[in-house]
Structure 1
Amino acid sequence: MQAGRKEIQRERMWRYFLNAATEVIETEGIENVTIRKIADKAGYTSSTAYNYFKDLSHLKFFAAMRFTKDYIEELPHYIEKGTNTVEKWLYSWECFCKHSFTQPQIYAGIFINNLGIVPEEMLESYYKIYKEELLGLPEQIKSIIMEQSFSKRSILYIQDAVGEGFINQNDVEFIADSTLLIWKGMMTTFMNQRRNYTVEEAYERALYYVHESVMKVVIPEKRKEVHFKPNINEN
C-alpha cells in the first residue's frame, strides 16, 4: 500500500513539473527552459524538481514529448498512403521531416541532444504516466514510437521490405543508419544556420536525400513499384 502511495505521489509531481515545463516552452521556447522557471511555475523549489528529474535535459525531453502529438496522430495517415513497405517507410519519413523541421528544437531535444541516460528507459517512463497518448494507435505504430533508437525504429519500418523483395537483408542496417545520419546532418545544419534554408527547403532537402539513399539499395527491378517522389528539384 505504501509503495502504491509513493508511486501515485511520484506521478502527481511529474505531472506538476511537466505541465509547468510545457507552459514555459509554449511561452519562451524550449531553448529558454530552466529548472528555476519550471519550479517557480509549478510552485515548488528547484531542489524539489531535482528529486524527480536528475537533469534539466530529462525534464526538457519529457516536456518535448508533449509537442509530438500532431506527428504521432498524423503518422498512421501518412503510412496508409503507401502500397508497399518502402513507400510506407518513405511516407513516414515525410511526416517526420515535416514536423521535425517545423519544431527543430523540440525534435533535437528528443532525438539528438545528449541526455546522459539510455533514452529507451526515459520514454518507457513517460508513457507509463501518459498512457492516454497511445490510445487508438495501431500496435505497429505503438511499437515504433516506443522504440527510441532511431536505427531500430527504421529497421522496424523496413524489415518487411526484405520479404517483399524490395531490398536485401544486408542493406537494412545500412539504410537505417544512413537515413538517420542524413536527417541529423540536415537538422544540425538547419539549427546552426550553416545554410540559408527555410523550413520548407530544409525539410524537402532532407527528404530528398533520404529518398535517394533508399532507392540506391532497392533492387533495380522493384524500383518501378516505388512511386513516392519527394518535392524537390535534383539540381
Structure 2
Amino acid sequence: MTNKEIQMQRMWQYFVDATVEIIDQKGIENVTIREIATKAGYNSATIYNYFQEVSHLIFFAALKYLNKYIKELPEQMEKGDNSLDKYLLSWESFCKHSFEEPEIYYAIFLANLGEKPEELLKYYYNVYQSDLFGDVTEDIKTLIAEYNLSTRSRNALDKSVQEGFLTKETVAVINERTVLIWQGMLITILNNRRHLNAEEATNKTMQHIKEIVNNYRLAK
C-alpha cells in the first residue's frame, strides 16, 4: 500500500469512526455531514474529498454494528444438514438481527446510495474488508459482504441447485419473493405499521420464507 493510500485509509477511518460515535450518541437518523465534520475535527468540504454522499459514511458506519450477526452466523449455519437448511438458518439469523436494529440494516441493504454505488462501494470494501470481516470462511464472507441483498440471497441458493434441492428455474422466483418479504417486514417495522417485536417479526417472516422454499423444494 502506498503512502497516499495509507493516508486515504486513515482519513476514511476518522470519518467513519466519527459517524459511529454520532449513531451511538444521537441515533442514525441524526447523522449529518456537519456533525461528522465537527466530531472528526475537519470541515465539511474535507469529507467530500473522500466520500461523495453522507449515505456512504452511514453505510460504512452501520457495518460496524454487524458484529453480533457476524459472530452468530457461522454457528447457526453449522446446525444445517445441507445447503438448503443452511440457507434458511442464515435467513433466520439475518431476520433476527435486522429486526432488532432495523435502521442499521436499512442503511446497509435498502437506503439510497446514489447513482451506481457498486463500483465506489467495492473500492471501499477493498480497504475495509480485513477490519470488518476478520477470519471467516468465504461462504460466510459472501453472505456478510454482499451489500446487494438479491445477489447475497441468490449466492446462497445456488448451492442448493448443485445439491439437487432446487432447479435453476425456481431459484430466481424464490430469491425474489424471499427478499421482498424481508423488505416488506423491515419497512413495516420502521414505519410503525405493525407493533411487532424482533422475535415476532422474525417468526412471521420465516414462516413465509419456509413456505416458499418448501413449495419449490424437490423431493429426494
TM-score, with normalisation over the residues of structure 1?
0.87
Q: Distance in 2 between matches of 1:126 and 1:201?
A: 33
Which residue number in structure 2 is paired with residue 226 of structure 1? none
- Name the residue aligned to 1:27: 25
State whether residues 63 and 132 of structure 2, in contact with CA within 8 Å, keep that contact through their aligned partners in structure 1.
no
Larger radius of gyration: 1
Aligned-pair distance for 1:142? Answer: 1.8
1:139 Cα offset (Å)? 1.7
Q: 1:91 to 1:135 in 2, by over 3 A?
A: same
For this pair of structures, how many residues does the alignment match?
A: 219
- Where do 1:62-101 residues align within 5 Å? 62-101=60-99
Match in the other structure for 2:172: 173
Classify the secondary structure of the residue corresponding to 2:12.
Answer: helix
1:186 and 2:203 are equivalent in the alignment: no
Counterpart-to-counterpart distance in 2, 1:38 and 1:20: 6
Distance 1:187 1:157, change over 3 A: same
Q: Which moved more, 1:130-139 or 1:4-13?
A: 130-139
Please state whether the residue corresponding to 1:197 is helix, strand or coil: coil
Aligned-pair CA distance for 1:32: 1.1
Return the offset for 1:119.
4.2
Equivalent pairs: percent with the same residue?
Answer: 46
Aligned counterpart, 1:148: 147
The alignment's C-alpha RMSD in Å is: 1.6
Corresponding position of 1:48: 46
Shift of residue 185, structure 1, vs aligned partner: 0.5
How many angstroms does 1:10 deviate by? Answer: 0.9
CA–CA distance in structure 2, aligned partners of residues 152 and 176 of structure 1: 9
Secondary structure at 2:49 match in 1: helix
Shift of 1:158: 1.6
Q: Deviations over 1:80-123 (max 9, x none)?
A: 11001111000000110011001100000011111114444315
Structure 1 stretch displaced more, 77-86 or 204-213: 204-213
What are the ranges of 5 or more consecutive residues in structure 1 without an aligned counterpart?
223-235
- Structure 2 vs 1, CA of residues 148 and 69 (structure 1 numbering), >3 Å: closer, same or farther? same
Match of 1:229 in 2: none
Letter in 2 for 1:52: Y
Deviations, residues 13-64 of structure 1 (Å, cap 9, x unaligned): 1011111100000111111111111111111111111211111111101110
- Deviation string 1:147-199 (CA, Å, 9 cap, x unpaired) is 32222211211212123221111001111111000000111011101112222
- Shift of residue 200, structure 1, vs aligned partner: 2.0
Question: Which residue number corresponds to residue 9 of structure 1?
Answer: 7
**Preserved contact between residue 84 and residue 160 of structure 2 (Cα < 8 Å):** yes
CA distance in 1, matches of 2:39, 2:133: 27
1:107 aligns with 2:102: no
Tell me what 2:200 maps to.
Answer: 201
- List, as ranges, runs of 4+ consecutive aligned residues in structure 1 with deviation greater than 3 Å: 117-121
Corresponding position of 1:126: 125
Cα deviation, 1:66-91, whole Å, max 9, x if unaligned, reads: 11111112111111110011110000
- Which piece of structure 1 moves more, 131-140 or 7-16? 131-140
TM-score by length of 2: 0.93
Structure 2 portions without partners, runs of 5+: none
Give the Cα separation in 2 of the matches to 1:32 and 1:51: 22
Q: Match of 2:9, SS?
A: helix
Map residues 154-165 of structure 1 onto 2, 5 A cutoff: 154-165=153-164
Closer, same or farther: CA 79–120 of 1 in aligned 2, 3 Å? farther
